[in-house]
A and B are shown apart, each in its own frame.
Chain A
Amino acid sequence: MDRREFLKLTAITAIATAGGISALEILRDKELEAHEAHTPDTKPLTAKRWAMVVNIRKFKTEDDYKKVMDACRRAHNVPDFGNPKDEIKWIWTDTFEHSFPGQEHKYMPEDLKHMPFLLLCNHCDNPPCVRVCPTKATFKRKDGIVMMDMHRCIGCRFCMAACPFGARSFNWRDPRPFVKEINPEFPTRTKGVVEKCNFCEERLAVGRMPACVEASKGGLIFGDLEDPNSDVRKVLGSHYTIRRKSELGTGPGVYYIV
């Protein structure tokens, strides 16, 4: 008996004790459940392995970056503390040298050297953050998304030490007063838990693409890595792409066209 059934049974017992309900009715309820196909209004987007390609060449103006980052900030109530010590980052930018340490050299094209790169959680195949978490508060879903369960996180920050990409942020203080305009569709966080990009799983669940992808106008390509006909696969098959620190073996799921 799974927990859901258990709950149901408890419910039935509760009704039975409260007012009386015939066994027949219970049966009918069960049938109802089995026959009716319950489809939600919008079909969730699903994949075997979600991944993203960042085509940095499509980001031309400062505004192109800002739109993407603001979309995420609004969608997830990401606070702005105005200081780097407390900073919470889901999607942010840094230069090539800092995004791909060790890959830079003196003679690389000037524009590339100074171009901001969009950085976010890589949703690794073999995520070290998941490996080290002592409570399974961070875990990998079947579709490749590395998720956070903020209800379970004890705030030990082992995952922050383990992540080689600096993709995890800790709530050093209550973030709510620092969220500019609160999006009522998504929770804020409490102090003392770690958070990061969730590939907009809450949007995928209702059939919408990630907020950053939507705002990027083609600069960010999102799709199923295991589907040969998906957009990401087409782009990966036709362009040379690099990943951050792939030598560490974590298997980053975010690719970059430089």
Chain B
Amino acid sequence: MLEKALTGSRRYWAWIFVLLAITGIGFIYYLKQFNYGLGITGMGRDVSWGLYIGQFTFLVGVAASGVMVVLPYYLHNYKVFGKITILGEFLAIPAVIMCLLFILVDLGQPMRFMNIFLHPTPNSVLFWDAVVLNVYLLLNILIGWTVLGAEKKGIAPPKWIKPFIYLSIIWAPSIHTVTAFIYAGLPGRHLWLTAIMAARFLASAFSSGPALLIILAMFIRRFTKFDPGKEAIQALGKIVTYFMITNVFFLGLEIFTAFYSQIPGHMHPFQYLYAGIEGKGRLVPMMWTSAILAVFSLILLINPATRKNERTLAMASAAVFISLWIEKGFGLVVGGFIPNPFEKVTEYWPTIPETWITAGVWAIGFLILTVLYKVAVSIREEEIA
């Protein structure tokens, strides 16, 4: 089936080469980081996780969100999603690969990464995260490839794949729950020490992931002969709406608890993120951009007229995606380290090499996504023809 990705329009190849070029630059910067050490990034003693781990956290959500199209189709026989389950599964694959790559580029001793499996440590959440992510990756490759292969031959998917599909439906929330536990169980990091962390993660995942799917589906409809279906896009729109409301609600809960209790440690990270402390507020503009985009998207999503209008739905989806990318891919991880354990404010901002390495990993992800979607779309186009 992969041969479908080897033929394409001039535009397709141009896109591929752009991604390869970004990957290449990212790789060169990674070699630099490999030689010099992680000191090449903006991270330091106080903010010891940054953009890489933020991206990892955000992308686990995108990966998990595939379940939002798989579940209604397989458990509720919601036929409208039949055409796009493959898009959900094929989105999960590059998302998980990006997650693993972001962990890898964040390691101080990447050559020793196998130590996680050579010395398995069940009390470490990171160990479990490595396990669940790899299993989820394998599940999605297996399911996506098998189902699409059957479709290509014009037959129903084999029966043995069903248990794997049900397993993947349970597995998806688990990957994001485990990822939330990385943060939610640490004493002394007030922003993260919250029982609703996993719930927040799932809410943001199930809004940002389907939002991306809406944009991808519209893109495919515009540039290929395959139409994922207006109804499917509208159904995704409703999913995004409800989970975005939940997401903002959960953030409100956190802010209430912190500020009504007036416990300084709980208020500090929020104060830093949204107002700045001691005149230091590097993340404030970004966090407010995220907040404004969230409100903007909710206005468009909750209002039926603007949700049904695909133009405004696309805008709302983009707003959701960017808003949550900032909130989770940046603010949540960095904010957890500020103020530091000594109640001092050390700020963080990614460096140029760090940004390029991040872009490089995203480019690899988009490359895999492009190839997989190209295969899926080509097979659909053949069916139509």
Contacts and interface: CB of A to CB of B under 8 A. Distances in A.
**A interacts with B:** yes
A86 to B, nearest CB: 6
B326 to A, nearest CB: 21
Given A161-B189, A245-B188, A249-B187, A192 B109 contact: yes
A80 interface: no
A94 B341 CA distance: 12
Nearest to B41: A172
Contacts of B48: 157, 160-161, 170
Contact of B37 (A153, A173, A194, A248): A173
B119 interface: yes
A155 interface: yes
A152 B124 CA distance: 15
Contacts of B185: 132
B340 interface: yes
Contacts of B188: 128, 163-165, 245, 248
Contacts of A241: none
> A-side binding surface: helix, strand, loop or mixed?
loop
A133 B342 contact: no
Interface residues of B, number: 46
A228 to B, nearest CB: 30
Interface string A103-139: 0000000000000000000000000100111111100
A101 B116 contact: no
Contacts of A165: 188, 341
A156 interface: yes
B120 to A, nearest CB: 9
Contacts, number: 145
| Consensus secondary structure, chain B interface | loop
Contacts of A184: none
Nearest to A164: B188
Nearest to B125: A132
Given A134-B127, A170-B45, A172-B37, A156 B106 contact: yes
Size category of the binding interface on chain A: 35 or more
Nearest to B108: A155
Given A163-B341, A245-B188, A249-B187, A169 B121 contact: no
A230 interface: no
Interface in B112-163: 112-113, 115-116, 118-119, 121, 123-127, 130
A152 B108 CA distance: 11
A84 B346 contact: yes
B37 A191 contact: yes
A43 interface: no
Contacts of B49: 157, 161
Interface of B: 36-39, 43-46, 48-49, 103, 106-110, 112-113, 115-116, 118-119, 121, 123-127, 130, 182-183, 185-189, 264-265, 336-337, 340-344, 346
